[in-house]
Structure formats: structure tokens, C-alpha cells
Amino acid sequence: MPEFMDVHTSMAGVTTEALMAAHQADLDIQDDEGVSFKHAWADPNTGHVFCLSEGPSADAVQRIHERAGHPADEIHEITVTA
């Protein structure tokens, strides 16, 4: 299953509670697209959030994020890791 790192760039000030709620909103509907969100890392100062997921395509990842109310600004397909 392809792996993706997506980036949100406008989440300045995000709190633990807000990030957990946003992540849960993805988890609640991710099965509809065969996506599995694995982890999210946030920097409230720069407003960047990085989400690691597995799924059939970048479009599938984006559809879940859009339906959950927080479309990604970038989605990168991860094919090399170290």
C-alpha cells in the first residue's frame, strides 16, 4: 500500500485537543477510502502539520481530509525511506 506524507500549512496555534479531534475526524471516515492515518506531527508556531498515512492514492487521502474539514496543502507519495 502506498505511503503518503501530507502537509497542512495554516494550523497556527493548534492545540493537542484540536489536533486529536481533527485526527479522529479522519479516522472516523478513513475506511470509506481504504486510507489509514498513522501519525500527525504539529508545530503550532509555524502552523505546519505533517500527517503520515497509507492508502490507495493521494486523491483518496485528500478526499478524507476534505470531508473531515481540513484539506491538505501538499501530499507527497513516500517511496524512499531511511
Return the C-alpha torsion angle 4, 58, 20, 11, nearest 10. 100
Per CB under 8 A, the list member of 8, 30, 35, 42 interacting with a copy of itself is 42
* Residues in CB range of 53: below 8 A, 6 or more apart: 3, 4, 6, 35, 36, 37, 38, 61
Question: Binders of a copy of itself among 22-41, rule CB under 8 A?
Answer: 22-23, 39-41
DSSP three-state, residue 56? coil
Q: Applying CB under 8 A, does 69 fall inside the site for a copy of itself?
A: no
- For residues 32 and 74, which CB has a smaller minimum distance to a copy of itself in the complex? 74
Residues in contact with a copy of itself by CB under 8 A are 3, 5, 14-16, 19-20, 22-23, 39-46, 48, 50, 52, 74, 76-82
